[in-house]
C-alpha cells in the first residue's frame, strides 16, 4: 500500500545520516535509530514535539495544585540525596522559591541528573505536579540552569520532545533533542523544502508554506504560529495520501478492462419473479442498480459492500451472481469459515432448486471424490456458482469463464488471498467484497478510497430491535432463568465465551467450566447443548452447529468461531460472558446472531467484577444502540484509528500528525481538493500541478490496481 510521506527524499541534505549533525556521536546516533527510528535529518525534522513550554511563564510553587497540567517553576536547589537500593533507588531534591518548596524525584537516568545538579544553584523546572501528604511533588521533571536570559520577557516557546529512558541515560532528554533540531534547522534552507502543494490549494485553504511550517512546528513564534504549522502539515499529509489513493482508483477505472454483462436474462428474471422469498428493501435495490451499472460498463468492478449484520447482503450477492450466470459466466463466493460456507451453500442451493444453475461447495473438508467432481465441473464450465472457503483460491481450482467473485466478511481475508482470485481468469472478474463490520466514512475514505463503495443502510422490514442488557456476573442465575423462559417459548439461545487461542489455557478452562455450569442449569434429557470452539476439528464444529441449526439442541455454547454470519432465526437470546474482553465491533457482530426471526430478541452482556472505564463505555454503547454504523463511529473515537480491526499492521491509517477522527474536516477538505484537481487534470500535467507530479514520481505511487486491496 502506498505510504504517505511528508517530505520527498530527493533532497540531499535531508537524507544525510543523523551522525552528520553536530552533537550526534556514533553512540547517540545508534540510540536515535534504535529508540525513535531517527536515521536521517529528515527523520529528525519529522520528529515533532509533544508540547511547548512558554519560557516566559513561571508559576510560583505555592500556586501548584493537584489537577494542574505541566507547569514551570524556578528556584534554588536546597538539597538533594540518593535514597534506596537497586530498583527502588531514587534521587530526591528540593527546590525553593519565595513562596514555597517543591520536591523533585527521579527514578531513572539518575546518574545524568546528579551530574548536572549543583546545590545552591538556580534551576528552571518543568513537570506535572502531584501531591503527597499535602506537599507538592514533581516526578521526572525537566530541569535546566536558570539564567537571567531565560526570561527576557519576550515570548519563547520551547519544544519538548518525547524521549525514552535509554535516550535520557545518554543525556538525550526532550530538551536536548530540541537542541539537535535547532542545530538541524540552521542547516536547512527554503530550497531544501520547496512547496509541494499547488499554489491555488495553498491559497484556498490559507496554508502557510511548507518551509515555514517545518520550522514553526518546532520553534513557533507564538501558539498561533504553531497551530498554523500543524494545520498545514496535517493538510499536506492527508492531501498526499488522498492523492495516492485517488490516483490508484482513477487508474484502475481508466485502464482495467472488465467483462461486460449485457443482459438481464432468464435465470435472473425467473428467480426474481418466481422464487424470491421476499420483497427487496430499497437499499438492496439501489446497491443492485449500482452493481448492474458497473458490470455493464466494460470496466472491472471492485466494490466494497457495507451493510449491518442482517441487512441482507447475501441476496444482493446472489442476484449479482445470477446476472453473471445469465451472461455465460461462472461465479465464486468465498467465505471465511467452513460453517459459513456450508450455510451459504445450503441457502443458495435451496433457493436455486427450481432453476438450472449448478451450485457446488468446496472446502478443506470436501472428500477427494467430491473435490474431483467439483474441480472438473469448474474447469468445464458446468458449475455456475462455486461456494467455499479459501480452498476455492487454491491453484488447482480452474474455471472456464470466471466472471464474478464475492468475498464475504472481507476483514478475515488478506489482500494476497484476494489477489489469487483475480488470477483465475483472462480478465480480472468483477469483485464484490462484503463486510458486516461497518466502517465509518472517514475511515473508509482513507482505507478503501480506492474501491467503489456501496452501503445497505436499511434492515429488512419487521425486524424488532434487539434489547440489550448489561449485568454483573453475579446475576448469572437470573440470566439462566430468563433463558429457560425463552426456551419454554420454543426459542434457542447462544452463550459465548472469549476466544480460545491455542495458547490460552485459561480461556479453555473458562469455557469448560461454563459448559459444566450451564449443563447443571439445563440438564439432559430435557435440554440439549451444542458446543463449538476453535480446538475442535472442522467436522466436530460442523456437527455441533448443524444440531443447533436443526433445533436438536437448545443452547449453543461457543467461542467467537460462531461470530461471523451464522443464521439461526429461531435463536432469540445471546449471552456474552466476560463481555469486557470483546471489542465493540465483535460484540455487535455477536449480537447480530439474534434478532433474525420474527421474535423479540435479547442480548445480555455479562461482565466480571473489574471493568475498566473504557469497557464500561463499550457496554453502554451496546445497550444504547443497535446501529452498526453508530457503533463503528464510537469505536473509532474510543480506540483511535491505530487500533481499528484490520488496520493495525497495515499502518495505512496512521499519520505522523493527522488523526482521521479528530481531523475529519481537514480530511474532507483534502479529499475534495484532490478530487477537484484530478477531475480536470488527472495526469497532473498542468503547470500548477507540477509539484504533485514530482511528488507522485518520487513516491512511485503504484498505479496498477492489482497490487492493492
Ligand atoms: P447479512 O447482511 O448479515 O449477510 P443475510 O444476507 O444473512 O444478512 O440476511 C439476513 C436475513 O434476512 C436472512 O434470513 C435473509 O433471508 C433475510 N432477508 C434478506 N433480505 C430480506 C428482505 N428484503 N426482506 C426480508 N428478509 C430479508
Ligand atoms: Mg452475511
Task: Decide: 310 in ligand 1 pocket, CB within 6 A.
Answer: yes
Atom of ligand 1 nearest to the CA of 569: 14
Average pLDDT over residues 417-427: 70
Atom of ligand 1 nearest to the CA of 281: 23
Task: Decide: 315 in ligand 1 pocket, CB within 6 A.
Answer: yes
Per-residue pLDDT tens digits for 245-289 = 888 888 777 777 889 999 999 999 999 999 999 999 999 999 999
Atom of ligand 1 nearest to the CA of 313: 2
Task: Decide: 307 in ligand 1 pocket, CB within 6 A.
Answer: yes
Give dist(CA 305, CA 313) in Å, integer: 8
Lowest average pLDDT, out of 57-61, 84-88, 322-326, goes to 84-88
Task: Decide: 593 in ligand 1 pocket, CB within 6 A.
Answer: no
Give the pLDDT confidence score for residue 8 in this predicted structure.
46
Cell of 517: 455450569
Average pLDDT over residues 210-227: 94
User: Could you tell me which residues are beta bridge partners of residue 75?
Assistant: 123
Question: Can the peptide bond before residue 666 be classed as cis, meaning omega within 30 degrees of 0?
Answer: no
Give the pLDDT confidence score for residue 153 in this predicted structure.
47
Do the Cβ atoms of 590 and 582 come closer than 8 Å? Answer: yes
Give the pLDDT confidence score for residue 708 in this predicted structure.
32
Q: Separation of 386 CA from ligand 2 center, angstroms? A: 16
φ, ψ of residue 596 in degrees (nearest 5)? -100, -15
Task: Decide: 278 in ligand 1 pocket, CB within 6 A.
Answer: yes
Cell of 172: 538525550
Nearest by Cα to 198 from 239, 246, 226, 250: 239
Ligand nearest to the CA of 317: 1
Q: Separation of 459 CA from ligand 1 center, angstroms? A: 8
φ, ψ of residue 159 in degrees (nearest 5)? -75, 140
539 versus 285: which is more confidently predicted? 285
Give the pLDDT confidence score for residue 575 in this predicted structure.
96
Percentage above 70 pLDDT, the chain: 90
Instruction: Report the mean per-residue pLDDT for the chain.
Output: 86
Ligand nearest to the CA of 314: 1
pLDDT surpassing 70 at residue 637? yes
Give the pLDDT confidence score for residue 1 in this predicted structure.
30
Per-residue pLDDT tens digits for 660-681 = 778 888 988 999 999 999 999 8
Q: Separation of 310 CA from ligand 1 center, angstroms? A: 5
Average pLDDT over residues 691-708: 62
Give dist(CA 108, CA 582) in Å, integer: 36
Give the pLDDT confidence score for residue 528 in this predicted structure.
96
pLDDT surpassing 90 at residue 438? no
Give the pLDDT confidence score for residue 422 in this predicted structure.
67
Ligand nearest to the CA of 309: 1
Do the Cβ atoms of 218 and 423 come closer than 8 Å? Answer: no
Task: Decide: 410 in ligand 1 pocket, CB within 6 A.
Answer: no
Task: Decide: 558 in ligand 1 pocket, CB within 6 A.
Answer: no
- Name the fold adopted by 266-295+311-435: Rossmann fold (3.40.50)
Mutate to test the pocket of ligand 1, among 312, 318, 351, 570 (most ligand atoms within 8 A of CB): 312
**CATH of region 467-625, choose from 3.40.50.2300, 2.70.98.40, 3.40.50.300, 3.90.650.10:** 3.40.50.300
Strands (E), 107-239: 122-127, 129-132, 135-139, 142-145, 157-160
Q: Separation of 567 CA from ligand 2 center, angstroms? A: 8
Atom of ligand 1 nearest to the CA of 317: 6
Ligand 1 atom 1 nearest Cα: 310
Q: Helix, strand or coil for residue 75?
A: strand
Give the burial class of 699: count Cβ atoms within 10 A of its Cβ; 0-12 exposed, 13-18 middle, 19 or more buried.
middle
**Measured CA distances, 324 to 186, 273, 284, 309 (Å):** 64, 18, 18, 25
Average pLDDT over residues 107-124: 86
pLDDT surpassing 70 at residue 702? no
Q: Separation of 350 CA from ligand 2 center, angstroms? A: 16
Mutate to test the pocket of ligand 1, among 283, 459, 460, 594 (most ligand atoms within 8 A of CB): 460
Half-sphere exposure of 443 (CA within 13 A, CB side): 23
Ligand 1 atom 26 nearest Cα: 460
575 versus 342: which is more confidently predicted? 575
User: Could you tell me which residues are beta bridge partners of residue 105?
Assistant: 92, 139
Ligand 1 atom 20 nearest Cα: 312
Ligand nearest to the CA of 463: 1
In the structure, ligand 2 is a single-atom ion and the residues with CB under 5 Å from it are 565
pLDDT surpassing 70 at residue 641? no
Give the residue carrying C-alpha cell 531565560.
150
Task: Decide: 435 in ligand 1 pocket, CB within 6 A.
Answer: no
Give the burial class of 509: count Cβ atoms within 10 A of its Cβ; 0-12 exposed, 13-18 middle, 19 or more buried.
exposed
Task: Dump the DSSP string for 9-73.
Answer: TT-TGGGSBGGGSTT--HHHHHHHHHHH---BHHHHHT---SEEEETT--B-GGG--TT--SEEE
pLDDT surpassing 60 at residue 474? yes
Average pLDDT over residues 450-478: 88
Do the Cβ atoms of 336 and 485 come closer than 8 Å? Answer: no
pLDDT surpassing 70 at residue 651? no
Task: Decide: 694 in ligand 1 pocket, CB within 6 A.
Answer: no
Give dist(CA 637, CA 644) in Å, integer: 10
Task: Decide: 311 in ligand 1 pocket, CB within 6 A.
Answer: yes
Average pLDDT over residues 466-477: 95
Percentage above 90 pLDDT, the chain: 50
Give the residue carrying C-alpha cell 483460491.
393
532 versus 463: which is more confidently predicted? 532
Average pLDDT over residues 422-434: 82
Radius of gyration over every alpha carbon of the chain, rounded to an integer in angstroms = 31
Ligand 1 atom 5 nearest Cα: 312
Q: Separation of 35 CA from ligand 2 center, angstroms? A: 44
Atom of ligand 1 nearest to the CA of 456: 2
Give the pLDDT confidence score for residue 630 in this predicted structure.
87
Task: Decide: 597 in ligand 1 pocket, CB within 6 A.
Answer: no
Give the pLDDT confidence score for residue 563 in this predicted structure.
53
Ligand nearest to the CA of 281: 1
Give the pLDDT confidence score for residue 361 in this predicted structure.
97
CA 120 to chain centre: 53
Do the Cβ atoms of 492 and 628 come closer than 8 Å? Answer: no
Give the pLDDT confidence score for residue 650 in this predicted structure.
45
Task: Decide: 628 in ligand 1 pocket, CB within 6 A.
Answer: no
Per-residue pLDDT tens digits for 128-176 = 899 888 899 999 888 888 876 544 445 578 898 998 888 888 888 888 8
Do the Cβ atoms of 366 and 391 come closer than 8 Å? Answer: yes
Cell of 393: 483460491
Ligand 1 atom 10 nearest Cα: 310
Ligand nearest to the CA of 335: 2
463 pLDDT tier (thresholds 50, 70, 90): confident
Q: Helix, strand or coil for residue 479?
A: helix
Give the pLDDT confidence score for residue 5 in this predicted structure.
40
Lowest average pLDDT, out of 67-71, 275-279, 489-493, goes to 67-71
Q: Separation of 315 CA from ligand 2 center, angstroms? A: 9
Q: Separation of 246 CA from ligand 2 center, angstroms? A: 29
Do the Cβ atoms of 307 and 434 come closer than 8 Å? Answer: yes
Lowest average pLDDT, out of 148-152, 350-354, 523-527, 576-580, goes to 148-152
CA 138 to chain centre: 36
Average pLDDT over residues 363-380: 94
pLDDT surpassing 60 at residue 11? no
Q: Separation of 698 CA from ligand 1 center, angstroms? A: 48
Lowest average pLDDT, out of 308-312, 324-328, 563-567, goes to 563-567
pLDDT surpassing 90 at residue 566? no
Give dist(CA 360, CA 385) in Å, integer: 6
Tell me the H-state helices in 459-558. 476-488, 505-521, 538-549
Give dist(CA 401, CA 330) in Å, integer: 6
Q: Separation of 343 CA from ligand 2 center, angstroms? A: 10
533's CB contacts (< 8 A; 6+ apart) are: 500, 508, 511, 541, 558, 559, 561
CATH for 57-153 is 2.40.50.140
Ligand nearest to the CA of 279: 1
DSSP code of 274?
I
Give the pLDDT confidence score for residue 426 in this predicted structure.
74
Give dist(CA 233, CA 236) in Å, integer: 5
Average pLDDT over residues 419-437: 79
Task: Decide: 281 in ligand 1 pocket, CB within 6 A.
Answer: yes
Nearest by Cα to 184 from 231, 154, 219: 219
- pTM greater than 0.75 (yes/no): no
pLDDT surpassing 70 at residue 648? no
Ligand 1 atom 23 nearest Cα: 280
Q: Separation of 570 CA from ligand 1 center, angstroms? A: 14
Ligand nearest to the CA of 598: 1
Mutate to test the pocket of ligand 1, among 285, 314, 406 (most ligand atoms within 8 A of CB): 314
Ligand nearest to the CA of 315: 1
Task: Decide: 436 in ligand 1 pocket, CB within 6 A.
Answer: yes
Give the pLDDT confidence score for residue 662 in this predicted structure.
82
Amino acid at each position: 500500500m502506498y505510504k504517505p510521506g511528508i517530505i520527498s527524499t530527493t533532497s540531499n541534505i535531508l537524507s544525510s545520516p543523523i551522525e552528520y549533525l553536530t552533537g550526534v556521536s556514533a553512540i547517540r546516533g545508534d540510540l536515535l535509530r534504535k529508540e525513535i527510528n531517527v536515521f536521517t535529518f529528515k527523520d529528525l525534522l519529522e520528529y515533532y514535539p509533544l508540547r511547548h513550554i512558554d519560557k516566559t511563564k513561571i508559576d510560583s510553587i505555592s500556586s501548584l495544585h493537584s489537577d494542574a497540567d505541566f507547569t514551570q517553576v524556578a528556584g534554588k536547589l536546597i538539597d538533594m540525596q540518593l535514597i534506596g537500593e537497586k530498583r527502588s533507588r531514587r534521587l530526591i531534591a528540593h527546590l525553593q522559591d519565595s513562596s514555597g518548596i517543591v520536591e523533585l524525584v527521579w527514578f531513572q537516568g539518575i546518574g545524568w541528573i546528579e551530574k548536572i545538579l549543583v546545590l545552591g544553584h538556580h534551576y528552571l523546572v518543568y513537570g506535572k505536579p502531584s501531591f503527597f501528604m499535602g506537599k507538592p511533588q514533581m516526578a521526572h521533571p525537566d530541569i535546566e540552569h536558570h539564567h537571567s536570559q531565560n526570561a527576557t520577557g519576550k515570548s519563547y516557546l520551547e519544544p519538548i520532545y518525547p524521549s525514552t529512558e535509554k535516550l535520557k541515560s545518554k543525556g538525550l532528554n526532550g530538551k536536548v533533542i530540541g537542541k539537535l533540531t535547532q542545530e538541524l534547522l540552521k542547516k536547512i534552507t527554503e530550497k531544501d523544502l520547496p512547496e509541494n502543494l499547488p499554489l491555488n490549494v495553498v491559497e484556498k485553504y490559507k496554508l502557510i508554506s511548507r518551509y515555514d511550517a517545518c520550522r514553526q512546528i518546532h520553534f513557533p513564534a507564538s501558539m498561533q504560529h504553531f497551530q498554523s504549522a500543524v494545520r498545514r502539515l496535517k493538510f499536506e499529509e492527508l492531501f498526499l495520501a488522498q492523492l495516492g489513493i485517488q490516483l490508484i482508483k482513477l487508474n484502475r477505472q481508466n485502464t482495467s478492462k472488465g467483462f461486460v454483462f449485457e443482459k438481464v436474462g432468464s435465470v435472473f428474471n425467473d428467480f426474481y419473479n418466481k422464487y424470491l422469498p421476499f420483497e427487496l428493501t430499497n437499499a438492496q435495490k439501489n446497491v443492485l442498480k449500482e452493481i448492474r451499472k458497473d458490470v455493464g460498463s466494460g470496466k472491472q468492478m471492485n466494490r466494497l459492500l457495507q451493510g449491518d449484520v442482517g441487512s441482507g447482503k447475501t441476496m444482493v450477492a446472489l442476484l449479482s451472481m445470477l446476472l453473471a450466470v445469465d451472461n455465460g459466466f461462472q461465479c465464486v463466493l468465498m467465505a471465511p469459515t467452513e460453517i459459513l460456507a456450508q450455510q451459504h451453500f445450503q441457502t443458495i442451493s435451496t433457493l436455486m432448486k427450481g432453476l438450472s444453475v449448478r451450485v457446488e461447495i468446496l472446502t478443506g473438508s470436501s472428500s477427494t471424490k467430491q473435490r474431483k467432481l467439483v474441480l472438473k465441473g469448474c474447469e468445464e464450465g458446468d458449475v455456475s456458482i462455486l461456494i467455499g472457503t479459501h480452498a476455492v483460491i487454491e491453484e488447482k481450482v480452474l474455471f472456464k469463464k470466471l466472471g464474478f467473485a464475492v468475498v464475504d466478511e472481507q476483514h478475515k481475508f488478506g489482500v494476497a488471498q484476494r489477489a489469487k482470485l483475480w488470477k483465475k481468469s483472462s480478465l480480472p472478474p468483477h469483485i464484490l467484497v462484503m463486510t458486516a463490520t461497518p466502517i465509518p466514512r472517514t475511515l473508509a475514505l482513507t482505507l478503501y478510497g480506492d474501491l467503489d463503495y456501496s452501503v445497505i443502510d436499511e434492515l429488512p422490514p419487521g425486524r424488532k430491535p434487539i434489547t440489550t442488557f448489561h449485568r454483573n456476573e453475579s446475576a448469572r442465575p437470573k440470566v439462566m432463568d430468563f433463558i429457560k423462559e425463552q426456551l419454554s417459548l420454543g426459542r434457542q439461545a447462544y452463550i459465548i465465551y472469549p476466544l480460545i487461542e491455542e495458547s490460552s489455557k485459561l480461556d479453555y478452562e473458562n469455557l469448560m467450566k461454563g459448559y459444566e455450569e450451564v449443563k447443571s442449569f439445563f440438564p439432559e434429557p430435557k435440554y440439549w447443548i451444542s458446543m463449538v470452539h476453535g480446538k475442535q476439528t472442522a467436522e466436530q464444529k460442523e456437527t455441533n452447529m448443524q444440531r443447533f441449526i436443526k433445533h436438536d439442541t437448545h443452547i449453543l455454547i461457543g467461542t467467537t468461531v460462531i461470530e461471523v454470519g451464522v443464521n439461526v432465526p429461531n435463536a432469540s437470546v445471546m449471552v456474552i460472558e466476560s463481555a469486557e474482553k470483546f471489542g465493540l465491533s465483535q460484540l455487535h457482530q455477536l449480537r447480530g446472531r439474534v434478532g433474525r426471526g420474527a421474535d423479540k430478541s435479547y442480548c445480555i452482556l455479562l461482565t466480571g467484577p473489574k471493568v475498566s472505564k473504557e469497557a464500561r463505555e463499550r457496554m453502554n454503547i451496546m445497550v444504547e444502540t443497535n446501529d452498526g454504523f453508530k457503533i463503528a463511529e464510537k469505536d473509532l473515537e474510543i480506540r483511535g484509528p491505530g487500533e481499528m480491526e484490520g488496520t493495525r499492521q497495515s499502518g495505512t491509517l496512521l499519520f505522523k500528525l493527522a488523526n482521521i477522527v479528530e481531523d475529519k474536516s481537514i480530511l474532507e477538505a483534502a479529499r475534495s481538493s484532490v478530487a477537484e484537481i484530478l477531475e480536470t487534470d488527472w495526469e497532473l500535467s498542468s503547470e500548477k500541478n507540477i509539484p504533485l507530479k514530482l511528488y507522485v514520481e518520487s513516491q512511485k505511487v503504484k498505479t496498477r490496481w492489482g497490487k492493492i486491496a
